[in-house]
Structure formats: C-alpha cells, structure tokens
Amino acid sequence: MRVFDFTNAIVRAPAPSVVHGLRSGSSPNPDFEKLRAEHQAYVSALQGAGLQIDLLPPLDAFADSIFVEDPAFVVPQGAILLRPGAPTRLGEREHMRDALKRRFGRVQELADGEYVDGGDVLITPKTIFIGLSRRTNRAGAEALQAALKSLGRDARIVQTPAAILHFKTASSLLDEETVLVTRAMADSGVFEGYHLIVTPDGEEGAANALRVNGTVLVGDRFPQTHELIRKHGLSVQGLAVTEIAKLDAGLSCMSLRW
C-alpha cells in the first residue's frame, strides 16, 4: 500500500463553538452553516474516494475539535495520542482516546511536557517528517519519533519555517517523491531529494492539500495550483475552504486517515 492509500478516516462533526476557533491573524468568525457545508463536502469527498468514515459527535467545549488531525497521529500499524500545543486544545485528546482504541486496540500516548500537533507531521515513503513549531516542541517530537520507531516507522525531526502554523500548512505529499510546498518551505531545504511543486504567489493556502488514493483534494480558490498538479499527471478535486481558512485550517486537518 502507498502512504496515500487509505481505507478509513476519523472525522468530527462541527459544533456551533467552532466559529470561535483559534486563529493567528484577525480573520472574522466563520459562518457556522457555511463551515458545516464545507465540512460535509469534505466528508463526502473522502467517502467518494472510497474511505469508510467514523464520524465522531460534535464537542461544543472545544472550538477547534473538528481539526481531529492535531490531537492524534495514526499509521496502519498503530495510533498515538498526541498532546496539542495550544492550551485550549489539550483536552481534545481525552475525547479521541476511545475512538482510537476502538479502531487500533493499543494506543501509545505522549507524556506531560511533550507537545505535538498532528498538523506538524507529514508522512512520506522515505520518512515521516516531524516539524518543530510553536505547537510542537523537541520533547514531543522525540517522543513521537520513538513511538513511531516502535511501530517500525522512521521519523525525522525538522524545523517548520517561521510564521507558519504547522509543517503541513506549507507542505503536502502528492506522490511517492513529489511534495506540494510554499516558496518558504521550498527555501528551507527540508525536502532535499524530493521533487517539489511550489504554490504560485497568492496561492500559498493551496499547500495544505490532501492526496487520498487517486485524487488530490485542493482548496477551490487555487486554480493555478490545480493546473500545476494536473500537469504533473494527477487528478484534482477542488473543495471550498473559505470558512475553515478563517481558522488557519486546510484539508488535511479535518481527518485522521489510514
């Protein structure tokens, strides 16, 4: 199986509190109904790609809890409960544990003082990149690296470029050796040895795309990036991301896939 071939995903339905989710800039609150429609279209796209979906109930106490990618990390060999680096998000892990246990049985966990957001973890065939960021500290990255080693997976700790929320805000795997990146990520040199497709100026938000089986899901506001990916020989499905982008989120954040 290739690392972007998936049969299952965990997602969480949005709660009305999602409109108060974290954001680094001064974006207005998203519109709840429009955001819910974006989320539904995203879940339909995963189903259309052949994935079986485990839909978790909304969690009003945690505004950012639809971004299920951050409190956990999964590979087919096992699941790891992470510790998100934003204080308002740490409690999300307690609501993820049972869902992971149902699917994976044993679940490894990070310990106190160790912080990793799943948005900082990118799987490629050669290695799994763990990006240090404002959310992911070295203790967390090293603990995750050790947990992955116990699952037979190699991981490499790297630096997320400054001013980028998560490592995957600026990078997504498109095929075995090709990564879609922003110019800042390309310039960081982290992906030496990979083929890079750089998002055109003004389309940096496209870099959080999601390859699922035969299709690349990309924000629908990024036509030039669609064209670059199609020219590379891959099929693209555009999805609305206007509301979730107000919360600094993209297309990988809303699911855990294996």
Whole-number CA gyration radius for the chain: 17
By CB under 6 A, is residue 166 in contact with ligand CIR? yes
Largest CA distance in the chain: 46
Contact 185, 221 (CB under 8 A): no
CB of 71 to ligand CIR, least distance (A): 10
Place of tokens 């297309």: 251
Tell me if residue 166 is catalytic: yes
CB of 42 to ligand CIR, least distance (A): 13
**β pairing state of 155-159 and 128-132:** parallel
By CB under 6 A, is residue 206 in contact with ligand CIR? no
Interaction pattern, residues 4-43, with ligand CIR; x per rule: CB under 6 A: -----------------xxx--------------------
Choose which of 64, 92, 203, 204 interacts with ligand CIR (CB under 6 A): 64
Residue among 14 and 193 whose Cβ is closer to ligand CIR: 14
Place of tokens 């206007």: 242
Instruction: Please choose, from the candidates 91, 178, 171, 102, the residue with its C-alpha nearest in 3D space to the C-alpha of residue 131.
Output: 171
Tokens of 149: 């080693």
CB of 6 to ligand CIR, least distance (A): 16
Residues 167-186 within binding reach of ligand CIR (CB under 6 A)? 168-169
Choose which of 116, 247, 251, 256 interacts with ligand CIR (CB under 6 A): 247
Mapped onto helix, strand or coil, the DSSP state of residue 138 is helix
Tell me if residue 253 is catalytic: yes
By CB under 6 A, is residue 243 in contact with ligand CIR? no
Contact 225, 201 (CB under 8 A): no
Residue among 114 and 243 whose Cβ is closer to ligand CIR: 243
Place of tokens 């998100």: 84
Contact 201, 228 (CB under 8 A): no
CA torsion, ordered 214, 45, 131, 147, to nearest 10 deg: -80
Residue among 69 and 105 whose Cβ is closer to ligand CIR: 69
The one catalytic residue in 20, 95, 166, 232 is: 166
Taking the alpha carbons of 85, 46, 211, 78 in that order, is the dihedral positive or negative?
A: positive
Half-sphere exposure of 126 (CA within 13 A, CB side): 12
Q: Which residue is nearest to ligand CIR (CB)?
A: 119
CB of 231 to ligand CIR, least distance (A): 26
Choose which of 43, 62, 69, 186 interacts with ligand CIR (CB under 6 A): 69
Choose which of 70, 92, 204, 243 interacts with ligand CIR (CB under 6 A): 70
By CB under 6 A, is residue 248 in contact with ligand CIR? yes
State the DSSP code for 57: P
Catalytically active residues are: 166, 253
Contacts to ligand CIR by CB under 6 A: 21-23, 64, 67, 69-70, 86, 89, 118-119, 166, 168-169, 247-250, 252-253
